[in-house]
Amino acid sequence: MIGRTETTILISIMLLAGSLGAGVVPETQVDNEPDPRIEIVPVDSAHSSSIPASLSALSAKIPPGAFLLVNHTGTPITAVDVRWHYPADDGELKRSAITCDAYAFAPLDPIVRANGSSLRTPYECTKEELFPRLATGGILGSPLAPAGKPLAVAPQTTIHIYLDSVIFGDGLISGPDKLQYYLQIQDRYLAVKSFVAEVAAGRGAGEDLPTILARVLGDARSKTDAGSSKSSQRRAYYAGLLQRSPSPEGTLEQLRQQVAPPTFSHIGGSR
Amino acid sequence: MLLFVFIAVASLPSKVQTNYQFSYFVCDPTSCEEEGPAETTGYVLVSPNSDCTGGAIDGINKDIKISLDKCSTAYIPYAYIQKTSTEYYDDDTCTYYWVDYAAFNGEVFTSGGVVVYHLDTSYGCDGSESGPVTFGNKPC
C-alpha cells in the first residue's frame, strides 16, 4: 500500500519527468563565442559534466540563461557586458542584461581570476570561490533571485546569450563590443578625478566636507532634471556615496587611490 | 464655421501621450535607505510599495536586500532606493511626457569607508528595466 506522501512524491516525479520530456525547461543558446580563450558554459543539463558540483546541487534554483564564464588565460577579466534575449511567456521578445565591472573602486579586484571562472545570471555575477555559499543569497545581490519577477521565459523556447564585451586586465577587449562599455569606464575615471579635485578645491576655500558634499549634490541634481547629464549623475553619485559612507574620509581616500584604467584595445583590432 | 471646426479637430494630435509616474510611493520598513551595523552575517532590506499611472504596469513593488554571509571580517551593508523623473518627447503625438524611475541600489562598505561592492538596477513606471550593473565583488 502506498501512503499519501509516497503518492505525492510519485506524482511529482511523473509531472517533472513529463515536463522535462516535453521541453518545458527553456534551452540556452550561446549566440557568440567572442574568443577561444574564453569559454561560455550554460548551466543546464546538456553541460552538466562541465558544471562544478557546488552549482549542480543548486541547478533547480539557477535561473534560465545562467552560464559559467571560464577564463583560459593568465590575465584576469575586469569587466563583462552580457545580454540575454528570450521569448517571454506573454509572447513578447524580451531582453535582459548585466554588466559587472571591477574598475569602479580601488583596489581593482578582478571579477574573473586568471584561469578561473565565474557564474553569470541575469541577476548577478559571482566568483567561483563564492559558489558554495550560493544557497544562502539575498533577494537582490544574489545570482539566484531577482529583485522582482524572475525571467518569464516561455516554455519550449530558447534563451539566447550574447556576450558583447569581455575586458581583460591588460586592456584587451574581446567581443563585438557594439555597446562600447569601456567608454563608461574611462568616463567614470575622469569623473572620480574631477570629483576629488572639486573636494580639494572646496577644502582649500575653507569649506568642510559635509558642506562641500551638500553643495556638489545640490548642484549636480539641479543639472540632472532632464536625466541626460551623465557627468552630473556621476558627481551626484560620488557626493552621495561619501554622505552614505560610515567613514567619508576613508571613502574619499579610496577615490584618491583610483588608478587609471589601462589603454583599451580590441583583440585583433576588430573595431 | 463647420469647416473651421473640422480643420481644427483634424489638426489635433490623434492621441495624447500619457505620463508614467508614481501616484503613490512608500518604502518599508521605515525609509528608502537602510544601513546595517558592521557585521559578518546579516542584511539590510528596503521594500517599496508604489502605484504607477499610465497603465503600463501597476507599480514597482520589488525588494532590495543586500546580504552578508559568514564574512571573515565585518562589513556594513547599505540599501537604498532613489526616485527620478525624466521627460521624453513622443514623435507620434508631438507631446512631452514624463517617466518616473526607481533606482534600486546597494553597497557594501568596510568600517573604514572602503566600498567593496555596489549594485544598481533601475525600473521605470513605463515597464522599462535597466541593469543590473555591479561594481566590485561581493565579499561573502
pLDDT tens profile A232-256: 889 999 999 999 999 999 999 999 9
* ipTM greater than cut 0.85: no
Q: Give the closest of B63, B136, B140 to A102, CB-based.
A: B136
C-alpha cell at B17: 501621450
Strands B22-28 and A265-266 turn out to be unpaired
Does the residue B3 lie in any domain? no
Residues of A in contact with B84 (CB under 8 A): 224, 227
Q: Give the domain extent around B111.
A: 15-136
What is the reported pLDDT for A132?
Answer: 78
Flag if B115 and A248 touch (Cβ within 8 Å).
no
Does the residue B82 lie in any domain? yes
A55 vs chain B: nearest CA distance in angstroms?
A: 16
B9 pLDDT higher than 50: no
Question: Among A131, A193, A165, which residue's Cα sits nearest to residue A265?
Answer: A165
> Which of the pair, B46 or A54, is modelled with greater confidence?
B46
**What is the pLDDT averaged over residues A31-38?**
86
What is the reported pLDDT for A201?
Answer: 98
A153 vs chain B: nearest CA distance in angstroms?
A: 16
Residue A24 CA from chain centroid, whole number:
27
Does the residue B5 lie in any domain? no
Question: Among A29, A36, A28, A27, which residue's Cα sits nearest to residue A166?
Answer: A36
Burial class (CB in 10 A: 0-12, 13-18, 19+), B103: middle
Does the residue B10 lie in any domain? no
**What is the pLDDT averaged over residues B7-31?**
73
d(CA B95, CA B87): 10
Q: Give the closest of A105, A130, A133 to B115, CB-based.
A: A105
Phi and psi at A253, nearest 5°, equal -65, -35
pTM of the shown model: 0.84
Residues of B in contact with A140 (CB under 8 A): 62-66, 79, 104, 106, 119, 121, 132
pLDDT, tens digit (0-9, with 9 covering 90-100), for A54-107: 888 777 778 889 999 999 999 999 999 999 999 988 888 888 899 999 999 999
d(CA A185, CA B84): 23
Give the number of other CB atoms < 10 A from CB of residue A100: 25
How many domains does chain B contain in total? 1
Does the residue B101 lie in any domain? yes
H/E element holding B29? none
Does the residue B78 lie in any domain? yes
Name the B residues in 20-79 with CB < 8 Å from any A CB.
33, 35, 38, 43, 45, 60-67, 69-70, 76, 78-79
SS3 of chain B: helix, strand, coil, percent, to 5: 5, 55, 40
Residues of B in contact with A237 (CB under 8 A): none
